[in-house]
Amino acid sequence: MDNYHRKRILITGGAGFLGSHLCERLLKEGNDVVCLDNFFTGTKDNIIHLMDDHHFELLRHDVVNPLIIEVDEIYNLACPASPPHYQYNPIKTNKTSVMGAINMLGLAKRVKGKILQASTSEVYGDPAVHPQTEDYWGNVNPIGARSCYDEGKRCAETLFFDYYREHKLRIKVVRIFNTYGPNMHPHDGRVVSNFIIQALKGEDITIYGEGQQTRSFCYVDEMIDGFIRMMATDDSVTGPVNLGNPGEFTIKELAEKIVDITGSKSKLVYKPLPTDDPKQRQPDITLAKKTLGWEPVIKLEEGLVKTIAYFDDLIKEGRA
């Protein structure tokens, strides 16, 4: 692609798990990519292979501070995503979601660019409606340990829709359900990374509660495809749109699958359930199918094999 026709795309949180895959994919598609990150949970290791590409720029910046830059599109992913990471400094998590959204929406307004928000299934809280549809308003504790994240993300959605109504901004909101794959942080405390590392190291596998709570896991490549399709929709499409794999598993089933695939001798052990841990979660993706022609096809076992290979390498390199 010639330089005149290249789009310049800003990815906040670009050195994180999802952000790094998005940087790679958008570069491959012939765009100029500006990867912004404060490296709280992201790492240069995730993007080091992109550094020699002249169409890739890395910007150390914190989204709670305003930014002026010329771009055509913004993917706003900056925010710690795993419960231990987002609860480490809850006030900062909330500022990142809310002030980050204000700053990036302000930037999108200034440059008249399109902006996509990485929202979350956590806006549904511990859902009373199952599977979750976009018109469900959720069941969120506003003052609990998870609220810094859940309410921050809900407020960010509010800001996106107010900018849309007030300023006709071209917004795209996706609600991401649990996603897994290579480049996940080995110590993020999320269930897939914890169980795989425990299984590979022969350590006890820590199931919180009785392991009967459910989650639906989407492989990263398919999630990134959903983001790109959403950004490409015409201006009438704002979302929110659920993105996730509807295959629903109990946490105990996930542990058993990982033990099975790795051939591990690890034992399953039971630990207290964290407060406000959602009991069930499954996306209704009717809207994504209709609007984006998007539907995940990668089976959990298949995605786990690739993710296990990634963590196996990290362990061998002494990085996990």
Task: Identify the CA nearest to 312 among candidates 207, 204, 199, 205.
Answer: 199
Residue 62 interacts with which of ligand UDP, ligand NAD, none, CB < 5 to 8 Å by class = ligand NAD
d(C-alpha 83, C-alpha 275), whole Å: 11
**Cα distance from N-terminal residue to C-terminal residue, the chain:** 39
**Least distance to ligand NAD, CB of residue 159, Å:** 14
Of the residues 77, 169, 254, 320, which one makes contact with ligand NAD according to CB under 6 A: 77
Which of ligand UDP, ligand NAD, none interacts with 274 (beta carbon under 5 to 8 A by kind)?
ligand UDP
Write the interaction track for ligand UDP spanning residues 70-99; mark x where CB under 6 A is met and - where it is not. Answer: ------------xx----------------
The C-alpha atoms of residue 220 and residue 228 are separated, in whole angstroms, by 13
Distance CA 221, CA 282 (A): 19
Q: Pick what 185 binds: ligand NAD, ligand UDP, none; C-beta below 5 to 8 Å, kind-dependent.
A: ligand NAD
* Binds ligand NAD by CB under 6 A, chosen from 27, 59, 64, 102: 64
Which residues are within 8 A (CB) of 79 and not within 5 positions of it... i.e. 6 or more apart? Answer: 13, 86, 93, 96, 97, 100, 118, 149, 152, 153
- Indicate the DSSP class of residue 266: P
149 part of the active site:
yes
- Which two tokens mark 83? 């419960």
User: Parallel, antiparallel, or unpaired: how do β-strands 248-250 and 214-216 relate?
Assistant: antiparallel
Of residues 30, 66, 202, 274, which one binds ligand UDP by CB under 6 A? 274
Of the candidate residues 50, 118, 241, 292, the single one contacting ligand NAD (CB under 6 A)? 118
> CB under 5 to 8 A by kind: which of ligand UDP, ligand NAD, none does 17 bind?
ligand NAD
- DSSP secondary structure letters along 134-176: TT---B--TTSTTHHHHHHHHHHHHHHHHHHHHH--EEEEEEE
Q: Among ligand NAD, ligand UDP, none, what does residue 23 contact (CB within 5–8 Å per kind)?
A: none
B/e letters for 185-204, b = 16+ CB within 10 Å, e = fewer, are beebebbbbbbbbbbbeeee
Which CB atom, from 58 or from 255, has the smaller least distance to ligand NAD?
A: 58
Contact partner, 244, from ligand NAD, ligand UDP, none, Cβ < 5-8 Å per class: none
Span interacting with ligand UDP, options 93-101, 130-138, 208-216, 227-235, rule CB under 6 A:
208-216
Overall residue count recorded for the chain in this entry = 320
How far apart are CB 193 and ligand NAD at their closest, in Å?
Answer: 10
- The amino acid present at 146, given as its one-letter code, is R
Choose the catalytic residue: 75, 86, 149, 180: 149
The alpha helices in 232-281, defined as continuous H runs, are 251-262
- Does position 178 bind ligand NAD by CB under 6 A? yes
CA distance 232 to 189: 33
In whole angstroms, what is the distance from residue 194 CA to residue 179 CA? Answer: 14
CB of 121 to ligand UDP, least distance (A): 8
Kindly state the smallest distance separating residue 247's Cβ from ligand UDP, in Å: 15
Instruction: Give the binding range for ligand NAD (CB under 6 A) out of 174-182, 279-287, 293-301, 305-313.
Output: 174-182
Under the binding rule (CB under 6 A), the answer on residue 216 touching ligand UDP is no
Identify the H or E element spanning 315.
Answer: helix 300-316
Residues that bind ligand UDP (CB under 6 A): 82-83, 178, 190-191, 194, 206-208, 213, 215, 251, 274, 277
**Which sequence positions are flagged as catalytic?**
149
Residues that bind ligand NAD (CB under 6 A): 12-13, 15-19, 37-42, 62-64, 77-81, 85, 96, 100, 118, 120, 176, 178-179, 185
